[in-house]
Amino acid sequence: MGVSPREITLISEFASTAIEDDLNRFPTVAQHRLWELIQGSGGPGVGLRVAGLAEMGRLHVWDYLIAGAPTLSEGFRYASEFLATVADPALVINVAPDGPLLTVGYRGSPYSEAVDGQISEFVMSILMRRACEVKGAAAIPVRVGFAHRAPKRHGYLADEFGTSNIHFDQDSDTLTFLDPDRTPPVLSPDPELGRIMRLYAQSIMDSARPVRTWIENFRGVLITVLTAGTPAGNVLDEVAQRLSVSSRTLQRRLAEQGTSGRAEIEVVRHEQAVRMLLDTEMQVSSIAGHLGYSDHRALSRAFRRWTGLTPDAYRRRTDLSAT
């Protein structure tokens, strides 16, 4: 889609080692940033082109939940129930049977109009493609609704979904099918295999691990650098080097998070000073050295600012309260 692997790995959550683990779950903000890159390089219709690359099985066990169900309605319900195997648990798929009509809706997390539109088109295309894997032409929708505004040209959507009955500015993204189970499935469902797939999907959700956000990665590296006794003036440069970004980029990303290097250093020094005072018998001068202070007096001034006490007084008071 015109996005290089290097650009993807600049989003810290998408390090190659994280991507390769099926149990990792990436925060929505990181996924939005990835879609922002995709939309910026691919332009209108890129959501459908990404969906076209997602062949059956690319979305792991989730892909087979629809195929393993006896009806399309049940398949979509399973796809909704186990959506967290491939997406943020905050995202929702709704299934609404109404006589011969079956409507499947999707609600995502708002980010920006351009990106939200591409994500919606991707999701709707994936849902239709998986339905067609099971029901063939019977899974061509009779109506498609999108929450985003109509693009200047949207003939590509009619080509993708097989209908010109497409509406925009709707309450949610929807696909409506007319009696999709009137014809037998392309492949006969195996109820036992479907049950095994659902059990496996549940085990994946139970074992899933959230990937650390960029700010969490930053703070972990900051603790490592600070507690190694790095001089205060060199701390952020060292952190930037370890995160493979420039110092200017580091400061910009911190500003995007509503914080700054100085504020983060202050928080970490406070937390680590308290931990070392309570959990070790280190002298205050040694703690000051570990946290990059010039001497124990500098740490004492900072500690008074944080707590109103000197480090020694804080340690004595804590020891007395514990007895």
Q: In this structure, are residues 178 and 142 in contact, taking their beta carbons and an 8 Å threshold?
A: yes
Q: In this structure, are residues 67 and 53 in contact, taking their beta carbons and an 8 Å threshold?
A: no
Query: Tell me, what's the pLDDT at 97?
Result: 93
Mean pLDDT along residues 162-172: 95
Q: Which residue has the higher pLDDT, 67 or 261?
A: 261
Domain boundaries, the chain: 5-210, 214-322
Query: Tell me, what's the pLDDT at 8?
Result: 67
Q: In this structure, are residues 70 and 149 in contact, taking their beta carbons and an 8 Å threshold?
A: no
Whether the model clears a pTM of 0.75, i.e. scores above it, the answer is: no
Provide CB contacts within 8 A for 22, sequence distance 6+.
Answer: 60, 204
Query: Tell me, what's the pLDDT at 17?
Result: 55
Kindly report the three-state secondary structure assignment for every residue of 115-151: HHHHHHHHHHHHHHHHHHHHHHHHHCCCEEECCCCCC
| Phi, psi dihedrals of residue 141, rounded to the nearest 5° | -70, 155
Q: In this structure, are residues 273 and 287 in contact, taking their beta carbons and an 8 Å threshold?
A: yes
Mean pLDDT along residues 207-229: 80
Given pLDDT bands bounded at 50, 70 and 90, which one contains residue 33?
A: confident
Residue 323 reports pLDDT greater than 70: no
Residue 53 reports pLDDT greater than 90: yes
Percent of the chain with pLDDT over 70: 92
Hey, which CATH number is domain 214-322, 1.10.10.60, 3.20.170.30, 1.10.10.10, 3.40.50.720? 1.10.10.60
Q: The tokens of 199 are what?
A: 């059990």
Given pLDDT bands bounded at 50, 70 and 90, which one contains residue 49?
A: very high
